[in-house]
Structure 1
């Protein structure tokens, strides 16, 4: 078993996929790379052949949860990062992960800050990410970040952790990793579940991933069909009484403008 794998989840033919692959190939500490898809195509096959990446096909209807679990399963490594096809990774992502994995053997989740890319340009300031950075502050107290209360404190006002930048300790967390019924809040619900399990969450407040916001993103679609609103409200109800839920959702709806 290797120390770490990037398992790319590819859906249809993303124009940003090659940039993602190139960023993984450019890591200063090399890592295994594989691509998993439920929508195989000549485009994906050609890219995998060009970059020497194995491609695994999941048969059946496309599903975010099932596709992510399939990619996680196919990665034969201690840590697994489910790489999203539209995003790019800083060249020191694996190097930083490896350093903290050695320092904290009980680390079940590694995460970091991220930068937002809009219209192929790096955003200079994003209010939503700034707020999330504040919410992640407890996780920077690494001496306490094995405590469930500390881990959950980064999740009780919303999901402050960006899913594509997460690396999961597969040996400790087991399979399947993603068991939530949600589509949009799948990652938040999963992280909330993991926060109650033994192990340390380690957050490095450095932008080690470039998160692309664009019109075809799943997040945009979930806003359009109101599934994001419904699922986020249900997540808050797991944590807070109804009056607090209504107050939090008032501010969350304003955050949706990031995707307009």
Structure 2
């Protein structure tokens, strides 16, 4: 019988933060299935899987964010799947809040929430970037109309206000593969924009549901360094706005990159 929810952790190499992520999932007030998925198998990952009694699934082939996420999504045998990022910590009532929303809104395709930033091991609180994102997510707080395409897209038109690792996807309604975008950094934004066009409701719990870790080895920082983030974000904005508006948006958006300095 398919479970209601599963955390599918995408493990990449030997992250010093992976065990903390696992512990946060094990500490949930409502238990969900937990699985480890990796395209970079190692004794370190195997050891943590054995220590916490978590099944490990290995994807053979070159590592790819899109392919790794789709693999994890596929392996999770549950109605709702959270692609857990190994760097982050989940609040102990994440699954509880998800299930409460599912009972109230059976047509929910995406569950999400806010986040607090952890930088170099310290909780930095609500930074300016997250404050702005909370404003951008405001349309989703009108839950009675959060099934409408324009409402869902309005939370994405000025940038991706939805935190990717905070999302749980309704696998029964959305099917597979979930991630079809060619992007590396804007993969989640592009995916959510496409999902907004499908039937179903986006539900946002406007409070931190996880602690998002910012560190020097994060993929986001690498995408800033090689300019792929700016390129992909500009392309996403061009899907929604004329070029002169995109130029203005990107001027302000680049300032947010300092979050990773």
Please tell me the TM-score bracket, short chain as reference. Answer: over 0.9
How far apart, in 2, do the equivalents of 1:196 and 1:223 lie? 29
How far the C-alpha of 1:106 sits from its partner, in A, is 0.2
Is the counterpart of residue 179 in structure 1 residue 180 in structure 2?
A: yes
How far the C-alpha of 1:29 sits from its partner, in A, is 0.2
Unaligned runs of 5+ in 2: none
How far apart, in 2, do the equivalents of 1:13 and 1:250 lie? 36
3-state DSSP of counterpart to 2:5: strand
3-state DSSP of counterpart to 1:122: strand
3-state DSSP of counterpart to 1:249: helix
1:63-99 CA-to-partner distances (Å, cap 9, x unmatched) read: 0000000000000000000000000100000000000
1:183-231 CA-to-partner distances (Å, cap 9, x unmatched) read: 0000000000000000000001010100000000000000000000000
How far apart, in 2, do the equivalents of 1:254 and 1:99 lie? 37
3-state DSSP of counterpart to 2:114: strand
Matched residue, 2:53: 52
1:110-148 CA-to-partner distances (Å, cap 9, x unmatched) read: 000111000101013300000000000000100010000
Q: Which moved more, 1:198-207 or 1:116-125?
A: 116-125
Is the counterpart of residue 22 in structure 1 residue 23 in structure 2?
A: yes
How far apart, in 2, do the equivalents of 1:162 and 1:96 lie? 16
3-state DSSP of counterpart to 1:30: coil
Matched residue, 1:200: 201
RMSD, aligned α-carbons: 0.4
The 5 A counterparts of 1:37-116 are: 37-116=38-117
How far apart, in 1, do the equivalents of 2:179 and 2:82 lie? 13
3-state DSSP of counterpart to 2:144: coil
3-state DSSP of counterpart to 1:123: strand
For these two proteins, the number of residue pairs brought into alignment is 260
How far the C-alpha of 1:41 sits from its partner, in A, is 0.1
Matched residue, 1:150: 151
Runs of 4+ in 1 over 4 A off after TM superposition: none
> Could you state the TM-score of these two structures normalised by the residue count of structure 2?
0.99
